[in-house]
Amino acid sequence: MKTTYTFLICFLFIYNTNSQEQYLTKNGVIKFFSSTPIEDIKAENNQVLSIIDTSTKKMAISILIKSFLFEKALMQEHFNENYLESDKFPKATFKGDILNFNKIGGLETKCDVKGIITIHGVSKEIVIPSIFTRIGNTIFVKGEFGLFLEDFSIKIPRLVVKKIAKEIKVTFELNHKPYKK
């Protein structure tokens, strides 16, 4: 009986250290830019949730569309009500595998993250080139990629079509820390 308990306690310890393999941030930053000769538009989201599981080498990101803040209130309103329809689709998500995860160390390491991105209810496969840095107990990830509005069936009215770029530039900065309950 005693040995069973010892075994169980040992197992719990191992299990606990294993749970340290999850890294998380609740205030990652995602920004996007649309640049046309007529107008530059940018928005920022500071409430990005991102989780990295180092044992499965997977990464999951979840963001709220309404958390994007624009310089102009009217743009933010159009973005939410007409383009992204955030009442119907309040979240955008990404789930993927970190390729070459084992290479990541203290120096900036280029790693692709391959997975599925879902925006405006439309899912698409994507490879996001990212830069990983693992210092102490933090995993910092940053990168930049482009998204085409038409891939996510986001329709822009003809009247403003010249003001909004077809390809939107997205940048992200996610500083993951070990997850504690």
Residue with tokens 């383009």: 83
Piece in contact with another protein (CB under 8 A), picked from 57-65, 111-119, 124-132, 153-161: 57-65
Alpha-carbon span 25 to 33, nearest angstrom? 23
- Identity of the residue, 33 or 179, whose beta carbon is nearer to another protein in the bound complex: 179
Minimum CB separation from another protein for residue 141, in Å? Answer: 16
Helix, strand or coil, per DSSP, at residue 55: coil
Q: Of 24, 45, 14, nearest to 138 (Cα)?
A: 24
- Pairing relationship of beta strands 69-70 and 58-64 according to DSSP bridges: unpaired
To which H or E segment does residue 72 belong? none
Minimum CB separation from another protein for residue 5, in Å? Answer: 26
Q: Of 46, 22, 43, nearest to 33 (Cα)?
A: 43
Candidates 31, 42, 66, 142; binder of another protein (CB under 8 A) is 66
Per-residue string for binding with another protein, 91-120, x by CB under 8 A?
x-----------------------------
* Contact present, 46 and 29 (Cβ < 8 Å): yes
Minimum CB separation from another protein for residue 1, in Å? Answer: 31
Alpha-carbon span 129 to 145, nearest angstrom? 7
Candidates 47, 109, 118, 133; binder of another protein (CB under 8 A) is 47
Q: Structure tokens of 97?
A: 């595998």
Number of H helices, E strands in the chain: 2, 9
Candidates 35, 67, 118, 171; binder of another protein (CB under 8 A) is 67
Tell me which amino acid residue 1 is.
M
Minimum CB separation from another protein for residue 177, in Å? Answer: 11
Candidates 21, 40, 87, 97; binder of another protein (CB under 8 A) is 87
Q: Is 178 in the site for another protein (CB under 8 A)?
A: no
Piece in contact with another protein (CB under 8 A), picked from 3-11, 68-76, 100-108, 128-136: 68-76
Candidates 62, 118, 133, 171; binder of another protein (CB under 8 A) is 62
